[in-house]
Amino acid sequence: MTTSSHSNYLNHSKGLWSWLSTLDHKRIGLMYLFTTLTFFLVGGIFALLIRLELFTPGQTIMDPNTYNRMFTYHGAIMVFLVIIPAIPGALGNFIMPIMLGAKDVAFPRLNLASYWIYVAGAVFATSALFLKGADTGWTFYTPYSIRTNSTVILVLTGAFIAGFSSILTGLNFIVTIHKLRAPGQSWSRLPLFVWALYATSIVQVLATPVLAITLLLLMMERLLGIGIFDPKLGGDPVLFQHFFWFYSHPAVYIMALPGFGIISEVIPVFSRKPIFGYKAIAYSSFGIALIAFIVWGHHMYVSGQSELANFVFSLLTMAVAVPTGIKVFSWVATMYRGQVRFEAPMLYALGFLELFTVGGLTGVFLATLAVDVHLTATYFVVAHFHYVMVGGTIMALLAGLHYWFPKMSGRMYPEKPAAIAFWFILVGFNVTFFPQFILGAQGMPRRYWGYLPEFTLLNQISTFGSWLLAVGFVYIAIYLWKAMRNGPVATANPWSGLTLEWQTSSPPPHDNFANTPVVTQWPYEYRVEKA
């Protein structure tokens, strides 16, 4: 094996086709990364336009119909094409097999197929942009989604196709984790990022098929008028919401769980302390995955579902706070009396803790039936959702991106610009979304193109925050791009991590390891060094 610094997965073979047809999980991971980040840019531009429109109470830059399309696209792209595939598809694909000491995922061809299916879904969904758009919101609630004249069917088809990508990735990961662990890599020595991806994959495999059938039924509803969700034909529109949220609530955890995994890796490395409550963190991922399936009705408190269902779902929803609370407690306890280093991955991990805690606790408000009746479909929900998804998943993604950047590119990113960008994002995020809690509590409904004049000030603060956020993200893109091309060369293990990906060179060779590694210890045996 010629594992010199000259031979790695990046220069293993050349040409565009060698990338597009690659079976190497690392290259597929990078393709996911670039594609999801591209869609993140697109979805982000829509978000900026939405905020710009809301700068004044009446019309600012677009008419109401355009606005409806904007928020639908922002939601659908960010959910189906960015947050769901980003961490598992990009970082999971790249890092997880190396963490296991494997040469690849169990089914490399299926892995490539997942990527191209995802691209096909994305093409369908975005093609509607150039036709009559879609104006249903990302939730596609019936009966409006059946009647609207927009090209919602293309977005449905896109989400339907992208769903299969998600299913196949989950399936591939589960088999990989079961069957391809290196010698000595027992379940109790598995890195927590792998545990988190395992729980995520289970949710993907169990929930996404229901999305497939839901969207298929909705397409048939539009094409043939089968009536199952159409009240005019005797069907039940609330049943659609059950179908939709049976997938889409667990999907929230498909988005969040991999992020938890990244945080569980970053915090012990940058605190130089063994992770607190390894088993508790690992098992709580499964607790979250299971509870994910029994709480969906809390999206439907005011939908007309029965009082019994409201009561049952409100009660069950409270249970989500337990496993997530265990995780947050364990992370904080890991940092306690550790030797905390404030490099970019750790900054983002701390930002994650702040934002996710706010997002999680406001979730308890929304879980409470009586409170939710007031807050439902207001900006309070928008703020809560963004604190969890951007504050949780995107912050974790950024933590992981900086943490594994040396491994993926073989180069170091610059620390100071990273810190500046972090503060822009943290401050910008809070300025954007905290006012929305207040707006929501005051009763400003979401998804409206206009608002009462008394909400103007808070909306303008929020819009101003969105610009700070944009500056932060653009800055990250610039310095990472520069670092990728001519940053200082990274060593194999710049953060002194103990998981397997740091035992191979940066960037790793085509087969990941010169020799199959043998795992002899738990990967969190960090020790605080005496100064």
The binding site for other proteins (CB under 8 A) comprises 1, 12, 102-104, 106-108, 110, 167, 171-172, 174-175, 178-180, 205-210, 212-214, 216-217, 220-221, 224-228, 230-236, 238-239, 242-243, 246, 293-294, 296-297, 300, 304-309, 311-313, 510-511, 514-516
How many residues comprise the chain? 531
CA 396 to chain centre: 8
CB environment 203-223: b (16+ within 10 A), e (fewer): bbbbbbebbbebbebbbebbe
Least spacing, CB of residue 12 vs other proteins, in Å = 7
Angle between helices 237-271 and 192-224 (to 10 degrees): 160
Least spacing, CB of residue 222 vs other proteins, in Å = 11
Whichever of 314 and 362 has its CB closer to other proteins, that residue is: 314
- Contact predicate 77/46, CB 8 Å: yes
Least spacing, CB of residue 237 vs other proteins, in Å = 8
Whichever of 354 and 511 has its CB closer to other proteins, that residue is: 511
Look up residue 232 and give its amino acid: K
Least spacing, CB of residue 268 vs other proteins, in Å = 29
Whichever of 149 and 486 has its CB closer to other proteins, that residue is: 149
Angle made by CA atoms 263, 115, 152, in degrees to the nearest 5: 100
Residue 478 CB contacts under 8 Å (≥ 6 apart), including other chains: none
Whichever of 235 and 507 has its CB closer to other proteins, that residue is: 235
What are the helix and strand counts (H, E) for the chain? 19, 0
Whichever of 12 and 132 has its CB closer to other proteins, that residue is: 12
Whichever of 24 and 53 has its CB closer to other proteins, that residue is: 24
Least spacing, CB of residue 248 vs other proteins, in Å = 13
Least spacing, CB of residue 85 vs other proteins, in Å = 17
Whichever of 128 and 291 has its CB closer to other proteins, that residue is: 291
Residue 510 CB contacts under 8 Å (≥ 6 apart), including other chains: 7, 8, 9, 12, 24
Q: How many CB atoms lie within 10 A of CB 262?
A: 30
DSSP 232: G
Nearest to 305 by CA among 238, 363, 369, 355: 238
Least spacing, CB of residue 278 vs other proteins, in Å = 24
**Helix, strand or coil, per DSSP, at residue 366:** helix
Whichever of 369 and 477 has its CB closer to other proteins, that residue is: 369
Residue 130 CB contacts under 8 Å (≥ 6 apart), including other chains: none
Least spacing, CB of residue 335 vs other proteins, in Å = 36
